[in-house]
Amino acid sequence: MKAKVNYLLTGKIVCGQCGALYAGNSYRNPKSADKTLLTYYKCQSKCGNTSVRKDDIERIAIEQLVEHCFSDEGTTQIVARVQELYKQEKQQFTNDIEPIKKELEELDKKIENWIEALGNGVKSVVEKIKQAEQRKEALEYELQRAEVIQNTNVLDDALILAIINDKKHLLLSGEEEDKKQVLQEYVDRVVIQPSTDINQYDAEITYRVFSNGDEGNRTPVRKQVI
């Protein structure tokens, strides 16, 4: 039976030669006595660019993330940027409060009219009422969230740091699923530059340190495996 392998950088590694994604690949070494399991990431287009050992590239991604993003300097920058993003979000949510309240009032009127129509035997409005109730529930959640943000001037730096340190702990915990969760969240992509040597190649790693609904702020890192 083929062993289950947890590829931590699934969907993140890109071929620098043809642009295709790399995919996890594993097989048993027929030359070893215990049939050692060999694990790689390999270009799906088979363009000739080097495969990379799973352990090598994942170790590099983790080391660089800790060094550049979870260092004292990195976390200080993240905290400052998160506070900036929060101020932007706070203004946007403040602007959203009145439109949300207005839509809720309109929905309440529609639901009231539809319920009255239903009482008079108009059964076609049942689905409309159901959809309106679902929309109302979503709007009430958004309104509650907006009002909480409106009443919170700044985030607690200590809380942000605690979240970052928790991510760092998960990354270094040794649990594969925890490592994968953090890498999938923080790594934007890993570009394997053209090479024919599995022992020597350039990997350009781009980290998404924070995101605000767009591509986010990225920290490019170049690392050579020798």
The 10s digit of each residue's pLDDT in 163-182 is 889 999 999 887 899 999 99
Indicate whether 138 and 178 sit together in one domain.
no
| Domain-embedded: residue 1 | no
Indicate whether 210 and 194 sit together in one domain.
yes
Asked if 72 contacts 181 with a C-beta cutoff of 8 angstroms, the reply is no
Indicate whether 128 and 179 sit together in one domain.
no
Range of the domain at 114: 72-157
Lookup result for tokens 């980290």: 207
Per-10-residue mean pLDDT of the chain, 226 residues long, equals 78 95 87 80 94 94 89 86 82 82 89 79 74 88 82 82 90 89 92 92 82 38 41
pLDDT in the model for residue 55: 93
Indicate whether 63 and 91 sit together in one domain.
no
| Domain-embedded: residue 163 | no
Indicate whether 102 and 139 sit together in one domain.
yes
| Domain-embedded: residue 162 | no
pLDDT in the model for residue 8: 95
Indicate whether 78 and 56 sit together in one domain.
no
Strands (E), the chain: 13-15, 22-28, 37-43, 52-53, 187-192, 201-210, 217-225
Q: In this structure, what token pair is assigned to residue 169?
A: 């702990």
> Which candidate, 221, 219, 203, places its Cα nearest to that of 211?
219
Indicate whether 195 and 123 sit together in one domain.
no
| Domain-embedded: residue 105 | yes
| Domain-embedded: residue 3 | no
Q: Of 132, 157, 182, which residue is a domain's last?
A: 157
Q: What is the pTM of this model?
A: 0.65
pLDDT in the model for residue 30: 72
Report how many domains make up the chain. Answer: 2
What is d(CA 186, CA 211) in angstroms, rounded to the nearest whole number? Answer: 10
Predicted confidence (pLDDT) per residue in 23-39, tens digit: 999 888 777 667 788 99
Indicate whether 76 and 148 sit together in one domain.
yes
Indicate whether 54 and 82 sit together in one domain.
no
Indicate whether 67 and 176 sit together in one domain.
yes
The secondary structure of 39-98 as a DSSP string is: EEEEETT--SPPPEEHHHHHHHHHHHHHHHTSSHHHHHHHHHHHHHHHHHHHHHHHHHHH
pLDDT in the model for residue 83: 85
pLDDT in the model for residue 35: 75
Q: In terms of DSSP bridges, do strands 187-192 and 52-53 run parallel, antiparallel, or are they unpaired?
A: unpaired
| Domain-embedded: residue 7 | no
Residue-averaged pLDDT of the chain: 83
Q: Of 106, 129, 157, which residue is a domain's last?
A: 157
| Domain-embedded: residue 166 | no
| Domain-embedded: residue 2 | no
Q: Of 134, 157, 180, which residue is a domain's last?
A: 157
